[in-house]
Amino acid sequence: MDGRELPRPPRRVPAGAGTLTQLQAGTPRGPEPPPRQPWIFGRFLVGFLVVLVIVAGGATAGWFVRAQSLRIDTAQVLESVGSSVVRVLATTCAGSGEASGVLLEGGLILTAASAVEQPLSIVIMTPDDRIRPANLLGTSPDGVAVLQMIGSLDGERASLAPEDPDPKAERALIGYTAAGQQVINPIGSAADPTALSEVMNATKLGGPVVDKDGRVVGVVAGRTVQASTIVPLEKLRGYAVPRSTGITAVPGGSCEESRGPQTAIAPELLVANTALAAEVQKLFGNYLTLENRRNFPALQALYSEQLARSITPVSDRRSHRTTYFFGPKITEVSRYAKDGAYARITFNALFSPVTTGADGRRCNRLDNRYRLVREGGRLVIDTAVSMEKPPRSCEAE
């Protein structure tokens, strides 16, 4: 070796690699782009969405507040205005005689005309059992009767609403059941009403339709439950005024015999509910119901043999030609002899003021004590004694 370096072997090129002819220079880079400006549309969109959320929230809150303002609290309404919703009871030639009604300022009462056709006597009865006589001033073409209460009566009076309610505002009907219990039923709004047939019975005819503040916005009228309709506020404004031209005066009844309501009577027990008291309650429920229905022959089965000989169907009819009994309360039930009983009952008798012995009155509150005996295994009425002579007027507190 002479010290010279040996030539380097050629560099191996991997198979498939392209042929390099020269060194390739790197691609030159241009200047840096300027910073991105804020996205104006995006900011606008976000702001719009925020506003939309706020508006939607406000609208929802407003809708909720409005919905709440249209709702009715029936319990609160009944508490505030229930004392001015009364029962209307009448003995009439037509034999209708029972409805609900609403007492307004000045002693005017709005009720259903169908309940007071050809009346001999009319009274109103408050939820706390106070009774006042009333006169029929007239009736309207759409079936509303306007009564005038006679005498004074403490307590709240209902009022007509100052304007028609919102069509979407909820309403309620206040009236009485056949048993004389005051009830309130929601009936929807004018825009979305509940069918009256779902909540009505015959004794709710004449009942007021009220708004959430207890103000009268209508009265239910009609000859029957099926034909009942709501007479609107705009009509009532023309009826509930002195010397109204919207109602027509009608004559009272002139029949010798009249009838009150024909619903079954159920005396209220103010004593312990024993087996004997329940038997007494059933007996007098039947007795008063048959009296009101003028079924005097059937009454004979409720009398003892001795009493039936002195009170015949003919004499019974003669003494009760116009009488209607209501509001019975059993205040005493005690044993008599081996298997008989004494029963003391207070109740009201509505009658024509021209009836013999009426002395111009229309209603008496009776307090009778009965002696009952058992015949054929059943309790029957044997004697009756008045515990208060003369009877008090129904108007006595």
- If one counts every other C-beta atom within 10 angstroms of the C-beta of residue 71, the result is 11
Separation of CA 254 from chain center: 33
Which of 143, 126, 124 lies closest to 135 in space, CA to CA? 124
Tokens of 110: 């709005």
Per-residue pLDDT of the chain (397 residues; tens, 9 = 90+): 444 555 555 555 555 545 444 444 455 555 666 665 555 656 656 565 655 555 555 545 454 444 556 899 999 999 999 999 999 999 999 877 899 999 999 999 999 999 999 999 999 999 999 999 999 999 999 999 999 999 999 988 999 999 998 999 999 999 999 889 999 999 999 999 999 999 999 999 999 999 999 999 999 999 999 999 999 999 999 999 988 989 999 988 889 999 999 999 999 999 999 999 999 999 999 999 999 999 999 999 999 999 999 999 999 999 999 999 999 999 999 999 999 999 999 999 999 998 877 888 899 999 999 999 999 999 999 999 999 888 899 987 6
Spell out the residues 6+ positions from residue 391 whose beta carbon is closer than 8 angstroms to its own. Answer: 349, 364, 365, 366, 367
Do 119 and 96 touch, CB atoms closer than 8 A? no
Q: Give the C-alpha separation, 340 to 303, whole Å.
A: 13
Sheet hosting strand 229-232, strand order edge to edge: 182-186, 172-176, 208-210, 216-221, 229-232
Report the SS3 class of residue 195.
coil
Instruction: Please give the Cα distance from 286 to 67 (Å, whole number).
Output: 50
Q: If we measure between CA atoms, which residue out of 83, 242, 73 comes closest to residue 157?
A: 83
Two structure tokens written together for 80:
């505030």
Closest CA to 212 of 182, 171, 159, 167: 171
Give 340's Cβ-side CA count (13 Å radius).
Answer: 14
The DSSP H or E segment spanning 183 is strand 182-186
Q: What is the pLDDT of residue 352?
A: 93
Look at residue 249 in the predicted model and tell me its pLDDT.
94
Q: For the chain, how long is the longest CA-to-CA vector?
A: 173
| Dist CA 37 CA 40 (whole Å) | 9
Strands 119-125 and 144-149 come out as unpaired
Please report, for residues 40, 60, 62, 397, the alpha-carbon distance to residue 53 in angstroms, rounded to integers and kept in the order given: 20, 10, 14, 64
Q: What is the DSSP letter of 7?
A: P
Q: How far is CA 67 from CA 169, 172, 173, in A?
A: 9, 16, 20
What are the b/e assignments for 122-150, b being 16+ CB within 10 Å?
bbbbbbeebbbbbebbbbbebbbbbbebb
The whole-number pLDDT of residue 29 equals 56
The gap from C-alpha 126 to its chain's centroid, in whole angstroms, comes to 15
Distances (CA, A) of 149 to 24, 71, 266: 118, 33, 27
The residues, ordered by sequence, that sit 6+ positions from 198 with a Cβ below 8 Å of its Cβ are none
What pLDDT, on a 0 to 100 scale, did the predictor assign at position 313?
96
pLDDT score for 357:
76
First to last CA, the chain: 152
Instruction: With CA atoms as reference, report the closest residue to 72 among 169, 160, 162.
Output: 169
Task: Mention every residue, 6+ apart, whose C-beta is less than 8 A from residue 343.
Answer: 280, 284, 330, 332, 333, 369, 370, 372
- Give dist(CA 105, CA 282) in Å, integer: 40
State residue 12's pLDDT score. 52
Instruction: Please count the other Cβ atoms lying within 10 Å of the Cβ belonging to residue 319.
Output: 13
